[in-house]
DNA sequence: TTTGCGTCTTAGATCGTTCTATAGACTGGC
DNA sequence: GCCAGTCTATAGAACGATCTAAGACGCAAA
């Protein structure tokens, strides 16, 4: 297990100075084509890789974006995926830190800070507004999927009001009047969507019915059973997983979806897209949100724009679980 | 956006030298209780956090374990979760790198290398044996969930032969004779499980039937439809997601599970555990595997044990999708 | 007073980079 | 044939920590 080669080793092998090797490795101007080749050759032979710790330490810019995500939320993985793409496109790199069992968000964020990230993207932060502001005083922080984070942070989120509105426009246009909402319990965007549902229903002169739910299939299942007593013609779920639970409870009761009752999800997650599921859903478009968050972080870093709260409008993806209201 | 405070700043604030602050921050011997308190106080007031880049650069040991995982595989998230726990328990930290869309495994691994990780844990590596060996020549590499990686790497995997054997022991004990296997297509452990199935069935004097499948619900759905023509009494799926697809296809055809046909999954993933799913499954116990991989990496690092191939025996989790063979 | 020996503290080198300033080596214009 | 201007190459100081070796101090023994 030999030591890894350093700039110095390459310099000696190529018969030039350290600085010149550095110049070549960074593709910086100041080296002739001939020496460039010679150095690159030597570097390749030694299997040299620049030590990012040393590199990051010296250069004031690290070009590192920190992303904290949760292992228990598959949706986050889609975002991480898109964030990588967006960052490399703009010449930045991404450092990942997970919120896991026994590893609180604060720990995840701090480890990113120690790594020397220049900006932070926190997905669905559960931290308090004060703590977030504390971090935001030191570097640009973008909250993804949550917007009530105070004025010192950026946020990129999806317009829940619009999402619910679109959903209800669609359902009422299909003739639905008795529409229920299964909420997300104590999940992050739950209150927002619940209130949007109430307001929107009221605006249409319809009676709103809200059942306590949650973010998982289990929660949906429970809520769905509760709905059976007095079946609505359509249900708007807090998210897709919840919708699947609701659907399952209907199925178990011998009801057909969408003939007897329509079920609409939220998130347009991979679950919704499965060929045998084909759940109609309100799409937040994770990749788009991720790109927006990355761009926001970099813009804050490079320009001196003030924090902004970006809101994207979701759109409807109609599949097989919604249809005309039963007569 | 003020600069982050350094050791020097703390030293000045506390009226001592840099080195002393370093000693206090590391809890190293060589400082009196009085100065300790004074320094800690000053550090807290300035909001000082040691710069891990500088720290890592100087000290030869980084105590950093690199973990590469895939964003598209929810199962990996469970492993990452457990890996964090295992590493902190032994005083190590974890650096994460994802293989994502447009970010190949080699890139993920190299970024971990640049970060200064002392050992690597690669989950279900898709890299060639040669490339893996190349990395293994420089630092301990543990392959998780794949064991055909050559002699220079460690591997921690689950005994697929035993898993399939346990599954068939169980099913035959319930009276099943006509058992089909839906394989994983070109997924990593697929050939292993397929051959184990063939061998085990042959050993029992039963005719084995193998249907090409895959790792997702879609694949299961397709395979399940194929099975309908000549229905077996039990199906062993490549994994849980595949099993769910199979189940779904049976359901669509009006068949009851497990009364008409038993369906057995593999992985005991979160999907299998869902209350309305309750899929019987062969459990690989992700947390256990993750812990084993972390321990393996650290042992290699600290002792000078040679690479080993650890194999854990999976166990059966019986839920509601398997039952006695129909008469 | 000097020496010796802990304990506490410090200056200075070091890790592998990047960056600034400067030294040489050419060109070309007059 | 000399000076300005460009290009290439180098030395040496950062970056923010750790680590080694040696200095300052107090106190007991010679």
* Average pLDDT score over residue span A79-103: 94
A21 contact to strand D (CB, 7 A limit): no
Interface of B with A in 150-189 (CB under 8 A): none
Q: For the segment A302-312, what is each residue's pLDDT rounded down to a tens digit?
A: 887 999 999 99
Q: Which residues in 36-65 of chain B line strand D, with CB less than 7 A from it?
A: 48, 50-51, 54-55, 57-59
Which parts of chain B have pLDDT scores under 70? 1-2
Please report, rounded to whole angstroms, the spatial distance between the CA atom of protein residue B43 and the C1' atom of nucleotide C8: 20
Identify the residues numbered 39 to 78 in chain A whose C-beta atom is closer than 7 Å to any atom of strand C: 48-51, 54-55, 57-61
User: At residue A111, what are phi and psi to the nearest 5 degrees?
Assistant: -65, -35
Indicate yes or no: strand C within 7 A of the C-beta of B31. yes
- Mean pLDDT over A8-16 rounds to 93
Q: Is the pLDDT of residue A139 over 80?
A: yes
Considering only residues 22-41 of chain B, list those whose CB is below 7 Å from strand D. Answer: 22, 25-26, 28
Mark yes or no for CB contact B275/A114 under 8 Å. Answer: no
Q: Is B65 left (phi over 0), alpha (psi -120 to 50) or beta?
A: beta
Q: Which residues lie across from A309 on neighbouring strands?
A: A155
User: What is the model's pLDDT at position B2?
Assistant: 58
Positive or negative: CA dihedral B9, B14, B17, B19: negative
A87 contact partners, CB below 8 Å, separation of at least 6: A65, A93, A94, A294
- Name the closest nucleotide to B17, judged by C1' and CA: C10
pLDDT above 80: residue A2: no
Residue A182 in contact with residue A211, Cβ under 8 Å?
yes
Cβ-contact A190, A238 below 8 angstroms: yes
Q: In a mutagenesis test of the B interface, which of A77, A136, A218, A248 is the best target, namely the one with the most B β-carbons within 10 Å?
A: A77
* Strand order, beta sheet including A64-70: A309-312, A154-158, A141-144, A119-123, A64-70, A93-99, B93-99, B64-70, B119-123, B141-144, B154-158, B309-312
pLDDT at B1: 55
Terminal CA-to-CA distance of chain A, rounded, Å? 75
CB within 8 Å of A172: residues ≥ 6 apart? A179, A204, A206
CA Rg, chain A, in Å? 25
* pLDDT of residue A106 exceeding 90: yes
Contact criterion met (CB < 8 Å) for A49 and B252: no
pLDDT tens by residue, A166-184 = 999 999 999 999 999 999 9
Residue A145, Ramachandran bin (φ over 0: left; ψ between -120 and 50: alpha; else beta): left
Strands across the sheet containing B315-317: B209-211, B179-182, B234-237, B262-267, B281-283, B315-317
Amino acid B13 CA to nucleotide C10 C1' distance, rounded Å = 16
Long-range Cβ contact pairs of A16-23 (< 8 A, separation 24 or more)? none
Q: β-strand B64-70 against B119-123: which pairing, if any?
A: parallel
Confidence (pLDDT) at A195: 97
Q: How many CB atoms lie within 10 A of CB A316?
A: 16
User: Taking CB atoms and an 8 Å cutoff, what residues of chain A touch B50?
Assistant: 114
Query: A109, A68 in Cβ contact below 8 A?
Result: yes
pLDDT above 70 for A1:
no
């Amino acid at each position: 297990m030999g030591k890894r080669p350093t700039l110095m080793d390459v310099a000696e092998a190529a018969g030039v100075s350290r600085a010149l090797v550095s110049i070549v490795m960074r593709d910086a101007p100041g080296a002739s084509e001939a020496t460039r080749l010679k150095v690159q050759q030597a570097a390749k032979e030694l299997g040299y890789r620049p030590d990012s710790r040393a590199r990051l330490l010296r250069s004031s810019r690290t070009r590192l974006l920190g992303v904290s995500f949760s292992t228990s939320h598959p949706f986050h993985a889609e975002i991480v995926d898109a964030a990588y793409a967006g960052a490399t496109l703009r010449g930045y790199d991404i450092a990942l830190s997970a919120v896991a069992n026994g590893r609180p968000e604060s720990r995840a964020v701090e480890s990113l800070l120690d790594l020397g990230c220049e900006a932070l993207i926190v997905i669905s932060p559960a931290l308090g507004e004060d703590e977030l502001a504390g971090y935001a005083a030191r570097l640009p922080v973008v909250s993804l999927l949550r917007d009530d984070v105070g004025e010192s942070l950026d946020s990129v989120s999806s317009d829940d009001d619009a999402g619910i509105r679109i959903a209800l426009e669609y359902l009422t246009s299909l003739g639905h009047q008795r529409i229920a909402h299964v909420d997300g319990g104590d999940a992050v965007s739950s209150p927002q969507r619940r209130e949007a549902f109430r307001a929107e229903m009221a605006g249409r002169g319809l009676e709103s019915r809200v059942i306590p739910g949650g973010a998982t299939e289990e929660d949906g299942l429970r809520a769905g059973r509760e709905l059976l007593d007095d079946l609505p013609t359509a249900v708007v779920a807090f998210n897709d997983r919840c919708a699947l639970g609701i659907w399952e409870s209907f199925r178990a009761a011998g009801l057909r979806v969408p003939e007897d009752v329509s079920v609409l999800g939220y998130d347009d997650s991979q679950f919704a897209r499965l060929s045998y599921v084909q759940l109609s859903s309100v799409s937040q478009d994770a990749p788009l949100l991720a790109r927006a968050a990355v761009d926001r972080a970099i813009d804050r870093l490079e320009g001196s724009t003030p924090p902004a709260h970006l809101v994207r409008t979701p759109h409807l993806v109609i599949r097989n679980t919604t249809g005309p209201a039963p007569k």
